[in-house]
Amino acid sequence: MNKTMKTHHKLIFGDAENMKELEDGSVHLVVTSPPYFNAPFDYPDLFESYSAYLDKMRKIAEELRRVVAEGRIICIVCDDTLIDGKTSCCCRFNEDIR
């Protein structure tokens, strides 16, 4: 038996801190790749400090919580990063953003 389900897909490029075009709980999947803190080649000096970076990521996380439906998925693509000249595992990001 071949079942089909009607789906709706929308790709949005914009500011993840303010997704006013999306209703609360209306998103089922988010895949995002935010700028890495202090990535020397891609984003030199984009953030004043690791604390400023985390503040921005917290604002984005709050907005994601608002728009993502209960029980759905948020995928944040991240990699190891440089903090005070030392490589830090991306798993630290998860702990630091809380």
State pLDDT tens for residues 21-67: 999 999 999 888 887 777 766 777 788 888 888 898 889 989 999 99
pLDDT of 36: 76
* Strands 86-88, 68-76: pairing kind: unpaired
Q: Which helix (H) or strand (E) holds 81?
A: strand 81-83
Per the DSSP assignment, residues forming a β-bridge with 86 are 83
- More confident of the two residues 86 and 30: 30
Q: Cβ(70)–Cβ(25) under 8 Å?
A: yes
pLDDT for 15: 83
Q: What is the pLDDT of residue 89?
A: 65
Farthest-apart Cα atoms in the chain, separation: 58
65 neighbors 30 (Cβ within 8 angstroms) = no
**Which pLDDT score, from 0 to 100, does residue 8 have?**
82
Domain ranges of the chain: 27-96
64, 16 Cβ separation under 8 angstroms: yes
